[in-house]
Amino acid sequence: MLSFLVRRLVIGLITLWLITVGIFALINLAPGGPVAIMNMSSTASTRHELERYYHLNDPAPVRYVRWLNSALHGNLGTSYDFGEPVAAVIGQRLPNTAILAGTAILISILFGIPLGILAAVRRGTWVDTATTAGTTIGLSTPDFWLGTVMIIVFAVTLHWLPSSGMGGAGSGGGGLLPHLIMPASVLAIVLTPNLVRFTRSSVLGVLEADYIRTARAKGVRRIVVLGKHAFRNALIPILSLVGLLAATLLGGSAIVESVFAWPGIGRLTVQAATDRDYPMIMGVTLLVAAIVIGINLVTDILYAYLDPRVHYD
Amino acid sequence: MRSVVRVSALLIVLAMSGLGARATLAGSPKLSYNSNATIYMTTNADPTFDTWAPTAFAESDIINKLIFSGVTKWALNGAAEGDLATHWTVSKNKLVWTFYLRKGVKWQDGKPFTSADVVYTYQDVVLNKSTPTSKASVYSAVSKVKADGPYKVKFILNTPFSDLPEYLAYYAPVLPKHALSGSNPFTNTHFNKVHPIGTGPYIMKKYTPGESITLVRNPHYFGAEPKIKTIVFKIIPTTTTEVSDLLSGGLTYINLTDAQYLPPLIHNPNLTVQKNADQTYYFAMVNTTISPFKSLKVRKALDYAIDKKAMIKALLKGYGKVATGPIAPLQKAYYYSKVAQYPYDPKKALELLKQAGYKKVNGTLEKNGKPFTINFTAGQIRFLVPASELIQRYWQALGIKVNLTVLDWNTYISTVVVKRDYQASFAWWSTPPAPDMDSYYACSAAKAGYNLSGFCDPTLDKAMNKGRAAIKLSAQQKAYNRVQQLLAEKLPLLYLFYPDSFNVMTKKLHAPHAGYAFAIDDISAWYVTP
């Protein structure tokens, strides 16, 4: 197990490094430049001065090595947009995204897995058909549309819920929970169908396995067969999907965060890309890549605990 | 004991209803306002409290107008009036402006304000090449700023610039020398994000990144005391969210530049909608340095082919006026409409193109056997893409082949503005409410400045210089009437429309009926009724 962990960590680090090279290259190949330079109110002379100020006149490899050296010393640079250290800005936003993503995943798990199991157990009945229809609707609903409709219904018309922000003392108060309900629900509605469908097919696959038939033939009660034999085995692939969804969500949902003015990583990423905030793009990419690699590693480790057949050498 | 409880309960009710904090409005004895009021406004991104920093844009400008003061500020009609300066004079050769500063003004940390702060702001930051700021380009006429005693400051110019007082009000806050000197003002995180120090009517109390900025009344403000105690700016990136937040009661005031969002607001009984003219003009531009756009006939034909009124109806819901030049009707003293105009007339357009050597073959305009083709570049921001599509359709209707390329805004700036690598496009300018337009139309700005179409005409340069040197209003009016005539005749840009903008607020909030930035400069007049 230890040698597996070390190997995976080394591969993870190499992947991270390759990603930084790729992103740095892409940033430099993309047209445009930092928003301070690329705006209508700058003239040629201020543009030249700003290029010098940001050291953009140095060759790209030189800038990359400088960035890498700085990053290895724990400094991700200063954001062009915020004028603050990149790590500090990410540090402000990451907990906000974690709250939103965590809640959305929790809601998805609470609804998605039981619904998936139900649809699998009641395969071919109206329950299964209704679930499939529901997931199709959920999958084909765009999140920006759903967010806007929810705002119109619950904030504008009914005045039940606030429509923007996180409810901090400065922004009108009201606390986190009421502000969290709508954005988390939208994300959950978009996520849950994936989980329902995946759970359904995973459980169905297990239900058809020989050992389930054997258990049933031995006269084990249906509920025990489902809970003890079927679900535990079906859970393993579901776990990897949840891991994948978590990794995606922690990268921030740009659309939902924008619609609900949620100050998270997704909004930050979009702004960084739009404004060509190079240090921030590098920082955010590094973070998201590290999260994906980290969650994959954790999922693999959990696999070994959940499935005795899985061994890592 | 019972009476104590009763009195306390009554006080709590009074406090909650805001009655305990009522004050009477000067000049209108019947009106009272809530002096403890909090209002909620918006900005679209995280601000930088040093407006001069290269990445401080519209998201910071309004907030900073409240925290800081300028040498001058805007009156409600857009004219420049004293802010930190009480008055000013100009030398006979029009190259030295002396500004007389207020005495007794204190920074929000208690330190005294002097001419050294103005000199620091302009000489050490704005004009300093090692602290590059995109806002510096409008001060290219200023060569030096120096103090003449603690309460007098001289702006020494390299060329006359009669609109200097207006430009000193154009999002141009004076910075505290004692707090910033010796550091790079643009990377001073403590000042720019945590603890800005101004002399303005409000103090920055709390900034929650990504979420909000809370400003509280500055009790030591040198001007009239603001009636609103707290202003919270929520950071909301999209107009849709802004509008829905206003409708759901999460906001008190928004400034709206896109009329498409008006319908749900205009009929809402809880909201007041103010319509304002803006010093903004939208235009189609062609690269006048290349053929066939060097030809005035071609430019006029392209102008006649565009139905400006239909564009106003489609894009602005009718809230706008056909443009005749770069000075919008908002500038009542300078706007001059007796200039050449190009109302929608496709027949005239075709006639002009025929005069320019084009003929129609199978519905396509050709010259020397080659079809008339225009590559049109559109930027993805505001309504630029649908507007560009409309222009494409108008020009195609003449028989011109128009290829439309849409670029993201950053790439658009890089391609069209920086490299000038375009044939035709659609954009806008928002300028201070002052007639000076040298940086937009002078030959010197043709390759590197704001003169995007590359137009150069010595007659126009001469006329604009006359305007810059005219100090008296009548002389300025005369000079700029001529400039407007020349621009309409020579068409460096094809002027399309002036949009209206809207201030939308809850019924309880009373703000002056004026453009957003002008109203902000008069924040002491804002109040909330109980």
What average pLDDT score do residues A78-90 get? 91
| Cα–Cα distance, A31 to B448 (Å, whole number) | 19
B49 CB burial (10 A radius; 0-12, 13-18, 19+) = buried
For B243, phi then psi, to 5°, come to -65, -45
Q: pLDDT digits over B246-281, tens only?
A: 999 999 999 999 999 999 899 899 999 999 998 999
CB B21 within 8 A of CB B228: no
- Residue A313 is predicted with a pLDDT of 63
Mean pLDDT of B153-169: 96
Give the count of beta carbons closer than 10 Å to the beta carbon of residue B79: 17
Q: How confident is the model at residue B20 (pLDDT cuts 50, 70, 90)?
A: very low
C-alpha distance from residue B137 to each of A310, B279, B281, B447, B450 (Å): 66, 19, 20, 14, 10
Residues of A with Cβ-Cβ distance to B210 under 8 angstroms: 92-93, 96, 263-264, 267-268
The fraction of chain B above a pLDDT of 90, given in percent, is 85
Q: Which CATH architecture best describes the domain B280-500?
A: Roll (3.10)
Complex ipTM value: 0.86
CB B498 within 8 A of CB B278: yes
Residue among B39, B46, B239, B285 with most chain A CBs within 10 A, to mutate: B46
Residue B73 has pLDDT above 50, yes or no: yes
**What is the structure's pLDDT at B408?**
94
Higher-confidence residue: B111 or A44? Answer: B111
Residue B7 is predicted with a pLDDT of 36
Q: Which chain B residues are Cβ-neighbours of A53 within 8 angstroms?
A: 54, 130, 132
Largest CA distance in chain A: 85
- What would the two tokens of residue B240 be? 């849709």
pLDDT of residue A252: 67
Q: Which fold would CATH assign to domain A100-266+291-306?
A: MetI-like fold (1.10.3720)
Interface of B with A in 381-420 (CB under 8 A): 407-411, 413-415, 417-418
Q: Name the least confident of B94-108, B342-356, B431-445.
A: B431-445
Domain ranges (residues) in chain A: 12-72, 100-266+291-306
H/E run at residue B203? strand B202-208
Cross-chain residue pair A33–B414, CB shorter than 8 Å? yes
The tens digit of pLDDT for each residue in B105-135 reads: 999 999 999 999 999 999 999 999 888 887 8
Secondary structure E strands in B218-310: 230-235, 253-256, 271-277, 280-286
At A253, is the pLDDT very low, low, confident or very high (cuts 50, 70, 90)?
A: confident
DSSP character string of B26-49: TTEEEEEEETT-EEEEEESS---S
**What number is the average pLDDT over the span A30-41?**
87
Mean pLDDT in chain B?
A: 92
Calculate the alpha carbon distances from A135 to A105, A196, B52, B153, B187 in Å.
16, 7, 51, 70, 50
Kindly state the percentage of chain B with pLDDT values over 70. Answer: 94
Measure the CA–CA gap between A303 and B6, rounded to whole angstroms. Answer: 66
- Its sign, for the CA torsion A252, A254, A256, A257, is positive
Q: Is the pLDDT of residue B356 over 50?
A: yes
Question: Do the beta carbons of residue B345 and residue B304 sit within 8 Å?
Answer: yes
Name the residue in chain B with its Cα closest to that of A266.
B210
| Inter-helix orientation angle A176-207/A126-139, to 10° | 130
Q: How far apart are CA B473 and CA B476, in angstroms?
A: 5
C-alpha A292/C-alpha A303 separation (Å) is: 16
d(CA B421, CA B415): 6
Please give the Cα distance from A142 to A138 (Å, whole number). Answer: 9
> Residue B500 in contact with residue B250, Cβ under 8 Å?
no
Kindly write down the DSSP assignment for every residue of B318-343, as one continuous string: T-EEE--SSS-TTSTTT----S----
Express each pLDDT in A112-132 by its tens digit: 999 999 999 888 899 999 999
Give the minimum alpha-carbon distance from A217 to chain B in angstroms, rounded to a whole number: 59
8-state DSSP, B157: E
Using an 8 Å Cβ cutoff, are B304 and B349 in contact? yes
Residue B14 has pLDDT above 50, yes or no: no
Which positions 224-263 of B are in contact with A (Cβ < 8 Å)?
232, 234-238, 240-241, 244-245, 247-250
Give CB contacts under 8 A, 24+ apart, made by A221-228: A226/A117, A226/A121
Specify the pLDDT at position B22.
54
> pLDDT band for position A1 (50/70/90)?
confident
pTM for the model stands at 0.89
